[in-house]
Chains A and B, each alone.
Chain A
Amino acid sequence: MDIFLQQIINGLVIGSIYALIALGYTMVYGIMQLINFAHGEIVMFGAMVTITCINVLVGNHISLPGPLMLVAGLVMAIPVSMLLGFAIERIAYRPLRRAPRLAPLITAIGVSIVLQQVASLIWGRSYRPFPNILPQTVHNFFGAAITDLQVAIIILAIVLMGALFFMIERTRLGRAMRATAQNPEVAGLMGVNINSIISMTFVTGSALGAVAGVMVAANYDQAHPYMGFLIGLKAFTAAVLGGIGNLQGAVLGGITLGIIESLGSGYLGDLTGGFLGSNYKDIFAFLVLILVLVFRPSGLLGERVAERA
């Protein structure tokens, strides 16, 4: 029982990180019907910048409480990621808004490679350990272990999602975003500045991505310039699982995928009699993705949309 509960907790933690990243994918997709392939790299930049900042603080013997250092790192990382998101949209996607579908997809892949290589030039190819600044207390939760960090990740994720939903549902900007997602031309006629709304969508998604990146780095105790690909792909799977373009769906999909993955990797060895071990963990996301797209392309919460060629 406690192993089961432990896997559920781990799944919830990683799932809420997936959900935060998936929100970035789904927001952009909702507005532009475009998969922002470079989103994973934005997440990676968030993690790398934060680690660098904390290391600089530690290196200069500035002793602050651990969480405060983390906040300082985030304060640096979030604007960097936002700026990246803004620039990516401006350079790679905006000029191609009316081009055939394949074109922005290929530039997106190009941008993601460029960001990866730039990161690897700045920080080198190796793994960066996450600085050991956070308290490591472990709580007993009905026989399963949960750390302060895990609690903090879940709470922060819930707060951020709440803030995002408030912004989308209750503010002027959110209303403009929803209008643009429904019909850009009509929204434009109603006085919405489409270009700035699209920029804002990228920027918001990137900010969430930066926070998620730091969570990934803290949770796995490391970060590296090539981490964006896998985490981005999993988060994209989460977005598809929930129904792409649907914000609640992204959250649901993220948490579901997190739990599937951690239960799967926990029990795979037993289920297959040791034939497949936890080293196949990464396959789950891909399998879920393929199965969802084949059997229910609209996702768990998505509406069936007419095919757009």
Chain B
Amino acid sequence: MHFAFLKTPRQRQIALFIFAAVLLVLPWGLGATFSSANSWIRVIDFALLYIMLALGLNIVVGFAGLLDLGYIAFYAVGAYMYAIFNSPQLQAVMPTWLQHPPFLIMIVICGLAACVFGILLGTPTLKLRGDYLAIVTLGFGEIIRIFMNNLDRPINITNGPQGIDNVAPVHFFNYTFAKPIDFLGLRFEPVYLYYYLILAFCCLIIFVTSRLQYSRIGRAWVAIREDEIAANAMGINTRNVKLLAFAMGASFGGVSGALFASFQGFVSPESFVLMESIMVLCMVVLGGMGNIAGVILGAILVSVVPEILRDVINPLQQGLFGRKIIDPENLRMLLFGLAMIIIMLVRPEGLWPSRRRRAELHPSATISEQENAGLQDAERTHG
């Protein structure tokens, strides 16, 4: 991430250092400020998971311009994969050496499984245009959910609508995240442990996507988004590159799904409904498709603001009208819907767009800018 107002590399280094320090002490800061700190740290843990999801979807929607409405299916695949290997669900039939594999291996397995599903979805849909693709991916997401809902018969794999319970928490060697760990005189509650774990994966994914963005592959994605025929003519193998976008986005989803399963302790089809896909899409759109910092902002806004609203809306309604008129859950979804409409009408490039995307959407306004600086260079320095 680069910020235009930080001119020298040294300033950027310092800013990054401060930012990292803030992230490291964040749970402790919250713990000191709020009495119900653990629930807020939980909210932040989920926000981090959503950042990972949004960044994964951003590869497909933001970079490659393929509208995927069933993205949550990959999250589901990762979560169920983790749950099946780390819970009593299939203990009776599974050989012992397969149960409770080491955490990092499990993460890789979940990522790969989701990746396979991504390719499975990508292969037949490669030729489809934007709106058809949206519908097919939506159907795919629903198919995955219907299977998870019904695969409790005749062989009980997913335990149907009840979901899989008793998913074991993360365990590294002799440490388990089930109970607090005392370290350096500090007491790390499980939510704190998950915070650092998810933060680490989040940083990894941010690093990977930002390196991908200006790599050969990343530029190929953008080229396909802007004009597929021209990209093909320039020698990009559009089929493979699109498949790669699906696979890459899916594996990010799978990894965050695995983290979700271990953090939550149970998985059920209810967590993977269409609305979740749309929520992740909303994060990408709101923040600014294709811009990593924007997507992160979008994910934080969409996942944290409703939690704050939940705390504010009910007392406010009680005070104003004396009763509950609007259910916060309804209000949350209503706001998402309105945000999507308004953003597209007023500021289609999102709250924090990349310069390239802005140029794409407002051709006349940025022509002189392009002539002066050259679009590529402008984006590389300011992103």
Contacts and interface: CB of A to CB of B under 8 A. Distances in A.
Binding between chains A and B: yes
A309 B228 contact: yes
A121 interface: yes
Interface in B136-188: 136, 138-140, 142-143, 146, 149-150, 153-154
A96 B348 CA distance: 10
B139 A117 contact: no
Contacts, number: 132
Nearest to A118: B334
Contact of A280 (B130, B136, B150, B337): B150
Given A106-B285, A106-B340, A309-B229, A96 B345 contact: yes
A112 B153 CA distance: 34
- Most chain A beta-carbon contacts within 10 A, residue among B61, B131, B154: B131
A64 to B, nearest CB: 34
B344 A106 contact: yes
B311 to A, nearest CB: 20
A216 interface: no
Contacts of A229: 274
B24 interface: no
Interface stretch (A4-12, A170-178, A250-258, A289-297): A289-297
Contact of B338 (A101, A114, A277, A287): A114
Interface string B194-229: 000000000000000000000000000000000111
B340 A107 contact: yes
B28 interface: no
Given A100-B361, A117-B334, A286-B142, A107 B341 contact: yes
A283 B146 contact: yes
Interface stretch (B6-14, B121-129, B236-244): B121-129
B340 A117 contact: no
B134 interface: yes
A32 to B, nearest CB: 11
Q: Which of A109, A120, A297 has the most CB of B within 10 A?
A: A109
Interface residues of A, number: 50
A93 B274 CA distance: 23
B336 A113 contact: yes
Given A102-B61, A105-B130, 16 more contacts: A35-B131, A35-B135, A99-B344, A100-B348, A105-B67, A107-B344, A107-B345, A110-B341, A111-B337, A113-B334, A114-B338, A121-B327, A121-B330, A229-B274, A233-B138, A290-B125
A277 B136 CA distance: 23
B3 interface: no
B367 interface: no
Given A35-B134, A290-B139, A110 B344 contact: yes
Interface string B78-107: 000000000000000000000000000000
B135 A233 contact: yes
B131 A101 contact: yes
Interface in A218-260: 229, 233, 236-237, 240
Given A34-B131, A293-B136, A109 B338 contact: no
A96 B344 contact: yes
18 contacts: A34-B131, A92-B345, A100-B348, A100-B360, A104-B344, A105-B67, A109-B340, A113-B337, A121-B327, A121-B330, A275-B154, A279-B150, A286-B140, A289-B139, A293-B136, A294-B124, A294-B127, A308-B129
A1 B133 CA distance: 40
Interface residues of B, number: 50
A59 interface: no
Given A34-B131, A107-B345, A282-B146, A116 B333 contact: yes
Contact of B154 (A105, A112, A237, A274): A274
Contact of A289 (B127, B135, B150): B135
A36 B227 CA distance: 24
Contacts of B61: 102
Nearest to A120: B330
A237 B275 CA distance: 20
A233 B130 CA distance: 16
B339 interface: yes
A308 B130 CA distance: 10
A105 B228 CA distance: 19
B65 interface: yes
B326 to A, nearest CB: 7
Contacts of A308: 129
A297 B128 contact: yes
B17 interface: no
Nearest to B327: A121
Contacts of A233: 135, 138-139, 142
Nearest to A272: B154
Top 3 A-B residue pairs of the complex, sorted by shortest distance between their CB atoms: A110-B340, A113-B337, A286-B139
